[in-house]
Homo-oligomer: A and B are copies of this chain.
């Protein structure tokens, strides 16, 4: 259908799953040192995060963003709520999964989906979040 490399649907590689698990864990890691280490594990050095209300470039901004979210919503937990759906096309790996944010035990407050690209080492090059559920202000 084109002269580009065509990749068949692939199972999620363990490295991809490990990256996404590490990424989700950074949202919930309130120890500053462990959070920075998790960010270094999950993200490429020039990784970018974008959603409708926040934008961060690189590990230091991502770390500050997560710290600010944790300070604003203490006790909230980010949970992945779907399988990790992933495919490779023309050498690039694309990933999506849904998530919820809210108190550990209670109903979610915010829900959305993250759409990600990964670099050749399986680290996040970009995360773009979209919101499916958000309390009205």
Contact = CB atoms under 8 A, between A and B. Distances in A.
A7 interface: yes
Interface in A49-105: 50-57, 61, 64-65, 68-69, 85, 87, 89-90, 92, 94, 96
Given A6-B55, A50-B94, A94-B128, 7 more contacts: A2-B65, A4-B55, A4-B61, A6-B54, A50-B89, A51-B89, A89-B128
Interface of A: 1-9, 48, 50-57, 61, 64-65, 68-69, 85, 87, 89-90, 92, 94, 96, 113, 115, 128, 130-131
Given A64-B1, A115-B115, A130-B87, A53 B6 contact: yes
A48 B4 CA distance: 11
Residue among A4, A64, A69, A85 having the largest count of chain B Cβ atoms under 10 Å: A4
A9 B65 contact: no
A108 to B, nearest CB: 18
Most buried by B among A9, A53, A54, A89: A89
